[in-house]
Amino acid sequence: MPRIINAQKLVRTVALALLIGSAAMAQEAGTLIIQNDRGGAIGARLIAIAQANSSRTRIELRGRICYSSCTLYLGADDICVSPDTVFGFHGPSRNGRPLPDAEFEHWSQIMAAQYRAPLRDWFLKTARHRITGYYRLTGAQLVAMGYAPC
């Protein structure tokens, strides 16, 4: 049975959507739908994920794309992915510029902690080393790695 999210939580979710950036978000009873999201700040994403987890909100990643920090939603407790969505992965940077080694390692580990194995292992071995552009995986590939389909 879907859980109803109260108005205060809905206002916080909308505020987070504005904070996060260009994500197209829709709120249904107990479900947050993320569509065509090109990314944003890691910290803002982690806050949104923590909020969704604490309110037991289901997150559905749909639409054409989920790039950059949008992929961190894969760390949510109740997540599903559309097999047709393309997910774009790259390593942490500061406005597209490389980070100092210690910072790069720190943020790479934070990002990787949001992914399940084998995605986490692939990210640490391969994707985090790309700073510009994306390594792309489809939702179908993520489903094959153990993520639930929407």
Q: Decide if pLDDT at 7 tops 80.
A: no
Distance, CA of 126 to CA of 130 (rounded, Å): 8
**Which among 13, 50, 47 is positioned nearest to 30, based on CA atoms?**
13
- The pLDDT, as a whole number, for residue 93 is 93
Residue 28 lies in a domain: yes
Residue 110 lies in a domain: no
Query: What tens digit of pLDDT does each residue of 48-79 get?
Result: 999 999 999 999 999 999 999 999 999 999 99
Residue 86 lies in a domain: yes
Q: Decide if pLDDT at 2 tops 80.
A: no
| pTM of the full structure | 0.81
Residue 38 lies in a domain: yes
Residue 102 lies in a domain: no
- The pLDDT, as a whole number, for residue 67 is 97
Distance, CA of 23 to CA of 14 (rounded, Å): 11
Query: What tens digit of pLDDT does each residue of 90-128 get?
Result: 999 998 899 999 999 999 999 999 999 999 999 999 999
Q: Decide if pLDDT at 1 tops 90.
A: no
Q: What is the number of structural domains in the chain? A: 1
**How many Cβ atoms sit within 10 Å of the Cβ of residue 108?**
18
Residue 2 lies in a domain: no
Q: Look up tokens 């904070």; give the residue.
A: 19
Q: Decide if pLDDT at 8 tops 70.
A: no
* Cβ pair 145, 116 in contact under 8 A: yes
Query: What tens digit of pLDDT does each residue of 9-41 get?
Result: 433 443 444 444 434 555 555 999 999 999 999
Long-range contacts of 77-80 (CB under 8 A, 24+ apart): 77/52, 77/53, 78/52, 78/53, 79/147, 79/148, 80/147, 80/148, 80/149, 80/150
What interhelical angle do 101-112 and 42-54 show, nearest 10? 30
Residue 117 has φ and ψ, to the nearest 5°, of: -70, 140
DSSP 73: G
List the domain range (segments joined by +) for residue 71: 7-90+134-144
